[in-house]
């Protein structure tokens, strides 16, 4: 019995190794295991968890160094990935010819700016102004995808996204306190955040990258640029912070959740699109607002509740349109494949066949 169990475990390990040995098979395995629903649900739960953890770290503990906190997140993520790499559990990367180093370098740079500036914006802006900046990411992604990738969306989707953005604005933007430095940080964050999501989605869907392999390649670049950002955006005094056991464990817990959140976000971007990932973040905001009203008797106001419901309606319409397009594309794929197989032969192919027939008859 033990021999059978041992042989079965060896076969499982062997099949897993085969799946991770090439970038294409690893990408297909990721698609099988983490479809859009699984990836986005995983990302949604982790996003809520890290919000609560970071509130404790930056609020109760008083760790007011957002860039350094982001740096700790990426250092812990790189160490965890190094352990996975030692056990050959990180899928192999695609050939270097298929993805130029400049693309990976650009992704690492925009990740540093997107995540570092997001935490800095949250520290220096009110929640309302921060939310307004997040809403601006959606049209920025649409415009950037059109400029960079020539990607367009339907008129109905534009209407749905408009309804979502207006609904989230009405639901959450109640304290637009203006701060010049905070406003500059928020505006500077919008474009890197949009480009970050676009690159994550495009590299996985077009170049056979898996989320973990892409994280392994780009994290060192991100760490380098976060170190460069620290003197400019973080306040002094990080060395004088009380690094006792309780504070250190809280910060490391935030870092572990940050690693899982980054991975789940990459999975979601690989399974869906940059715009869908932004919609997921706005869905989380509305659910938290409505959940507080239904479960904890909070009173956000009638206007905020109406805005949240309008945003959820817009998200439902956008999801329905996306699913409809996915079904249509899936139906078109077999037809195009069948038409290519049944395509008439070219004149060159006819000449080759005649030449083969003639040579056979001569030998006879």
Mean pLDDT of 46-62: 77
Q: How confident is the model at residue 32 (pLDDT cuts 50, 70, 90)?
A: low
Task: Using the predicted structure, report yes or no on whether residue 74 has a pLDDT greater than 90.
Answer: yes
**pLDDT per residue as tens digits for the range 136-165:** 888 888 888 888 888 888 888 888 888 888
**pTM of structure:** 0.73
Report whether pLDDT(213) > 60.
yes
Per-residue three-class SS string for the chain: CHHHHHHHHHHHHHHHHHHHHCHHHHHHHHHHHCCHHHHHHHHHHHHHHHHHHHHHHHHHCCCCCHHHHHHHHHHHHHHHHHHHHHCCCCCCCCCCCCCCHHHHHHHHHHHHHHHHHHHHHHHHCCHHHHHHHHHHHHHHHHHHHHHHHCCCCCHHHHHHHHHHHHHHHHHHCCCCCCCHHHHHHHHHHHHHHHHHHHHHHHHHHHHCCCHHHHHHHHHHHHHHHHHHHHHHHCCCCCCCCCCCHHHHHHHHHHHHHHHHHHHHHHHHHHHCCHHHHHHHHHHHHHHHHHHHHHHCCCCCCHHHHHHHHHHHHHHHHHHHHHHHHHHHHHHHHHHHHHHHHCCCCCHHHHHHHHHHHHHHHHHC
Average pLDDT over residues 222-248: 90
What confidence score (pLDDT) does residue 175 get? Answer: 55
In the predicted structure, residue 355 carries a pLDDT above the cut 50 = no
**pLDDT band (50, 70, 90) for residue 28:** low
């Amino acid at each position: 019995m033990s021999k059978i169990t041992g042989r079965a475990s060896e076969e499982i390990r062997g099949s897993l190794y085969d799946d991770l040995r090439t970038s294409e098979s690893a990408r297909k395995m990721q698609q099988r295991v983490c479809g859009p629903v699984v990836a986005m649900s995983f990302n949604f739960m982790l996003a809520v968890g890290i919000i609560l953890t970071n509130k404790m770290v930056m609020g109760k503990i008083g760790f007011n160094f957002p860039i350094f906190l982001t740096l700790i997140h990426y250092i812990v993520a790189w160490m965890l990935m190094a352990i996975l790499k030692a056990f050959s559990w990180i899928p192999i990367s695609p050939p270097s010819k298929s993805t130029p180093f400049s693309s990976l370098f650009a992704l690492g740079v925009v990740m540093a700016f997107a995540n570092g500036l997001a935490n800095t914006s949250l520290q220096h802006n009110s929640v309302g102004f921060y939310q307004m900046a997040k809403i601006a990411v959606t049209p920025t992604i649409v415009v950037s995808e059109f400029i960079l990738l020539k990607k367009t969306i339907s008129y109905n989707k534009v209407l749905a996204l408009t309804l979502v953005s207006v609904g989230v604005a009405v639901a959450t933007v109640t304290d637009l306190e203006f701060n010049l430095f905070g406003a500059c940080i928020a505006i500077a964050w919008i474009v890197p955040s949009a480009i970050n999501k676009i690159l994550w989605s495009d590299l996985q869907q077009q170049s056979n990258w898996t989320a973990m392999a892409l994280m392994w390649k780009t994290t060192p670049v991100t760490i380098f640029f976060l170190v460069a950002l620290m003197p400019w955006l973080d306040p002094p005094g990080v060395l004088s912070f009380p690094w006792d056991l309780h504070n250190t464990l809280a910060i490391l817990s935030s870092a572990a959740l940050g690693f899982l959140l980054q991975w789940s976000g990459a999975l979601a971007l690989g399974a869906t699109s940059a715009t869908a990932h932004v919609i997921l973040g706005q869905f989380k905001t509305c659910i938290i607002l409505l959940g507080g009203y239904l479960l904890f008797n909070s009173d956000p106001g009638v206007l905020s509740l109406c805005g949240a419901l309008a945003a959820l309606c817009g998200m439902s319409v956008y999801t329905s349109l996306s699913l409809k397009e996915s079904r249509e594309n899936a139906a078109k794929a077999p037809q195009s494949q069948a038409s290519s197989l049944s395509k008439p032969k070219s004149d060159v192919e006819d000449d080759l066949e005649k030449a083969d027939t003639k040579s056979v008859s001569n030998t006879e």
